[in-house]
Copies of this chain bind each other. A is one copy, B any other.
């Protein structure tokens, strides 16, 4: 049977690059892949991709979750936080390198308007202010869609003369690159995650990450401090924390948190139980291998062996053997 992978299309997006990186890595075999071949399905939005996944029309979807410049991707964080449970099976880091591309023959001086996605536009403001200070901005659905609008085969005439996006989008559409690496942050990286329907978890590798969404029981002072102490007392390190509005009212937040370790680890298990006790709700989004493969050393007293020894000791106490 064919395995269907969704991504944010059209072809030529950074998201497609993430999916291809995933599929070319041996890791993906531990995921949803089956023997029957695979299909890559472009989706119009994160919401649409995850809906298709929940409906069974996809087996997995690659979606952006965080950008080193822009921060968390709201649409993804929110789509994972509500509705039927999904699980993150892995992550891919993609360097974000922007080019400005035009139809062959067009010069920089001819560019009066630039089309791209609003996130990309935000990341090339420095270059634009210096090189094209007069250019208007035309928002598009994606960076690749901006490139497609300049393609000779496009059905409509674009209202812009240049696009900003990935190098592959320029080559896909036969466009000429006027400048490369035009992003304000040369080291910018976007983190993508491969999401599937829940019911499985990636096996522990020793260098894992776990994602959750925490809903506080009430919004009292010091509430976040209490949540963080559940991590600290078990020596679990948080790698990302975002507050997100729950939509209920201004000032009502949930927290999406990534932390080091795997649900199968004792210190992670005990942390999760502690959170579940003190939160109104804990939404588990999965444990999966870190993209960088770097194992995190546990602080003194919080290694797996320390937890197992403490469990044996407690068992001895309870049967009077002390």
Contact = CB atoms under 8 A, between A and B. Distances in A.
Interface of A: 44, 47, 66-71, 74-75, 85, 87, 93, 118, 122, 125, 137, 139-141, 156, 159, 184-185, 187-189, 191, 198-201, 217, 221-222, 224-225, 228-230, 232-235, 237-245, 247-253, 263-264, 269-270, 272-274, 276-278, 284, 299-302, 306-307, 309-311, 313-314, 317-318, 320-322
Contact of A310 (B240, B249, B273, B311): B273
Nearest to A189: B250
A239 B71 CA distance: 20
A201 B251 CA distance: 24
A222 B217 contact: no
A32 B159 CA distance: 40
A201 to B, nearest CB: 6
B230 A69 contact: no
Contacts of A237: 221
Contact of A139 (B118, B313, B317): B118
Contacts of A263: 314, 317-318
Contacts of A233: 229-230, 233, 274
